[in-house]
């Protein structure tokens, strides 16, 4: 350790200014510039969140700050002293500890042994001095004290083996180890990504406690509600640069995402000090203050099948997410042919609304065939069987759908009543939407955006092809002419395709996780289990041992584009041809017509989706993104 590093290690807590700062950090990997002149300041008793899209440079920045990578250019200071970190141990010696998402715990060892892993103490007697016998009793005693200091009440036995702990308890052990040996800065990399609701709450409580103890905390997270709950400041990374520093008092979550994706600059998004002061400093209150005006108005255009064998389970789950995500304001549900006839789909939607206590949401029945009034023979046969009648789950009669309009007219009337504000989330064939555009051309200017699940572009070599023909995805193939009209509309389009909704990306809710849901844990839990169980008994596809969450990902993207990576593309659809009908094709040399989702962290997103659906004020639910071994 160099002399500046030694000075930094022994600096007192009374040093003014940032505990950790970086100036002009540049890091390249061959021709790729990962970081370009990044500055950062972290103060004692502060939670600094770092957010950014995939590839924005978050991980590289953290690696440079913690010695895992060496910056090409730039300066790092700890307590005002210049330091040179050439390996992670140098950063640890300077009082900086990192808790990675993978935790780096040894499952076969007990909690105390993990806390002192790599820092084991020997006894202070003959056995210790000459035979290097470990001081296990002293380490256990100190481990208990450190865990108790953090207020971790879920760990009862310090000798418990780590592999028997829950995800939240393991995260708490990793944080306790970091706190025990990191006297100044704790870096938390996606600490709640693999956790359920209760476990995530425990970790956030620990973060709050660390702040009150005067530690500087860097939090890397994709979970925007959690970031806005605990962060004092938010550092936004974009394309290797710092796009801006904001606070939860001055900006909303949608604004943070807009800055992160480049849709808005820091100057355009600033609300001003008067608005900030009006919001108050209490995190819970500022969440409520921001959530009301920032909720995105959506209409869900869907083909839900509830408890119907042979149909996908993810449409009703997408409806559940649209109802429960606090960032979304569901204005109505429109049904279309697909998994089942639209009239039956309306009853299925009504079952979800009833279970959620949201029977105020209008349901409008839509088109029962393609725009040319033909119904594919495949669907005629399916509707003549199980998919044309209610299944094992009781469905209410649609006595009061809350609207007398059909789906096409409902879309038109609702959009024109909210010009520029409505996002249509289309997770079935796009027939209703296309007919609405033809009937009322003004919709092209008045629809705020369209997020649709459909298509396949071959970006994933195994799954990014077709699921109804070798080249076509169901929703597009069912009515390619309708999709062509939407694709050519000029509306802000976002495509969520088979390329990202598949087992390769982790967008699967495993059977083990479904079976572990406590039916009494939340209002929607029992129906959630029944819907998924029906699919498991008669799956539409054999891609995975579980439910692939195609449509819920589209709803999640509508709520927060920051959960995924996107690429601007020009996409066309084949409207004729016996072999290529319904194929979506990326075009070259033309102006992009949509934003295509190209990358997701599926396991994390699945966990967030299920945690949101099953959120309950009384009880926690399930380790939602528990992965199967298949």
Q: Residue 357: give its domain's CATH number.
A: 3.90.245.10
Q: Contact, 474 vs 541, CB < 8 A?
A: no
Q: What is the pLDDT of residue 473?
A: 96
Residue-number span of the structural domain to which 400 is assigned: 295-613
E strand spans, 396-456: 422-426, 449-453
Q: Could you tell me which residue, 111 or 587, shows the higher pLDDT?
A: 587
Same domain, 423 and 569: yes
Number of Cα atoms under 13 Å in the Cβ half of residue 295: 19
Same domain, 300 and 176: no
Q: Contact, 52 vs 237, CB < 8 A?
A: yes
Does residue 35 form part of some domain? no
Considering only 179-188, 237-246, 523-532, which range has the smallest mean pLDDT? 179-188
Q: Number of structural domains, the chain?
A: 2
Q: What is the pLDDT of residue 623?
A: 35
Q: What is the pLDDT of residue 3?
A: 32
Q: What is the pLDDT of residue 622?
A: 36
Asked if the model's pLDDT at residue 207 lies above 70, the reply is yes
Give dist(CA 196, CA 104) in Å, integer. Answer: 20
pTM confidence score: 0.56
Give dist(CA 171, CA 251) in Å, integer. Answer: 30
* 180, 202, 220 - which closes a domain: 180
Give dist(CA 536, CA 278) in Å, integer. Answer: 50
Does residue 329 form part of some domain? yes
Asked if the model's pLDDT at residue 67 lies above 80, the reply is yes
For the stretch 436-491, pLDDT in tens is 999 999 999 999 999 999 999 999 888 888 999 999 999 999 999 999 999 999 99
Does residue 80 form part of some domain? no
Give dist(CA 154, CA 171) in Å, integer. Answer: 12
Does residue 114 form part of some domain? yes
* 137, 160, 180 - which closes a domain: 180
* Start-to-end CA span in the chain (Å): 46
Does residue 270 form part of some domain? no
* 163, 180, 197 - which closes a domain: 180
How many residues belong to the chain?
630
């Amino acid at each position: 350790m160099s002399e500046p590093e030694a000075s930094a290690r022994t600096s007192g807590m009374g040093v003014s200014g940032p505990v950790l700062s970086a100036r002009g950090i540049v890091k390249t990997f061959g021709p790729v510039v990962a970081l370009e002149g990044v500055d950062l300041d972290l103060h004692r008793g502060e939670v600094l969140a770092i957010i950014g899209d995939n590839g924005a440079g978050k991980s590289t920045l953290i690696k440079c700050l913690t010695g895992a990578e060496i910056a090409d250019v730039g300066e790092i200071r700890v307590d005002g002293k210049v330091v040179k970190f050439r390996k992670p141990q140098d950063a640890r010696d300077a009082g900086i500890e990192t808790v990675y998402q993978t935790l780096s715990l040894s499952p076969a060892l007990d909690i105390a042994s993990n806390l002192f892993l790599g820092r084991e103490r020997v006894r202070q007697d003959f056995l210790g001095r000459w035979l290097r016998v470990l001081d296990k009793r002293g380490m256990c005693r100190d481990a208990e004290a450190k865990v108790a200091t953090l207020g971790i009440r879920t760990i009862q036995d310090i000798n418990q083996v780590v592999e028997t702990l829950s995800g939240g308890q393991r995260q708490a052990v990793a944080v306790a180890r970091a706190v025990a040996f990191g006297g100044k800065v704790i870096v938390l990399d996606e600490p709640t990504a693999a956790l359920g609701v209760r476990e995530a709450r425990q970790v956030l409580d620990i973060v709050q406690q660390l702040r009150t103890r005067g530690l500087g905390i860097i939090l890397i997270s994709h979970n925007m509600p959690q970031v806005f709950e605990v962060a004092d400041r938010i550092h936004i990374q974009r394309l290797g640069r710092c796009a801006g520093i904001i606070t939860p008092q001055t900006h909303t979550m949608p604004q943070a995402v807009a800055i992160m994706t480049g849709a808005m600059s820091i100057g355009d998004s600033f609300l001003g000090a008067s608005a900030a002061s009006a919001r108050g400093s209490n995190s819970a209150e500022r969440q409520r203050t921001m959530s009301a005006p920032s909720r995105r108005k959506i209409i869900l255009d869907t083909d839900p099948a509830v408890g119907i064998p042979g149909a996908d389970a993810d449409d009703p789950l997408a409806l559940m997410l649209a109802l429960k995500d606090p960032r979304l304001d569901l204005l109505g549900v429109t049904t279309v042919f697909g998994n089942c006839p639209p009239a039956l789909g309306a009853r299925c939607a009504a079952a979800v609304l009833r279970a959620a206590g949201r029977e105020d949401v209008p349901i409008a029945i839509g088109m029962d065939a393609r725009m040319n009034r033909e119904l594919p023979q495949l669907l005629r046969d399916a509707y003549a069987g199980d998919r044309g009648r209610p299944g094992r789950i009781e469905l209410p009669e649609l006595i009061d759908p809350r609207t007398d309009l059909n789906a096409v007219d409902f879309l038109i009337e609702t959009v024109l009543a909210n010009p520029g504000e409505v996002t249509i989330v289309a997770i079935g064939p796009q027939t209703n939407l296309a007919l609405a555009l033809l009937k009322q051309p003004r919709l092209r200017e008045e629809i705020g955006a369209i997020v649709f699940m459909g298509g396949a572009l071959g970006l994933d070599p195994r799954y990014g092809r077709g699921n109804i023909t070798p080249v076509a995805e169901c929703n597009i193939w069912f009515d390619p002419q309708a999709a062509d009209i939407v694709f050519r509309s000029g509306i802000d389009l976002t495509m969520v395709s088979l390329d990202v909704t598949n087992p390769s990306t982790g967008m699967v809710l495993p059977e083990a996780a479904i079976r572990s849901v406590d039916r009494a844990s939340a209002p929607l839990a029992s129906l959630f289990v029944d819907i998924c169980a029906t699919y498991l008994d008669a799956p539409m596809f054999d891609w995975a041992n579980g439910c692939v969450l195609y449509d819920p990902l589209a709803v999640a993207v509508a709520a927060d584009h920051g959960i995924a990576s996107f690429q601007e593309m020009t996409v066309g659809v084949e409207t004729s041809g016996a072999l290529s009908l319904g194929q979506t094709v990326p075009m070259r040399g033309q102006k992009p017509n949509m934003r295509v989702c190209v990358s997701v962290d599926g396991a994390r997103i699945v966990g967030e989706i299920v945690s949101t659906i099953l959120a309950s004020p009384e009880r926690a639910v399930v380790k939602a993104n528990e992965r199967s071994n298949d």
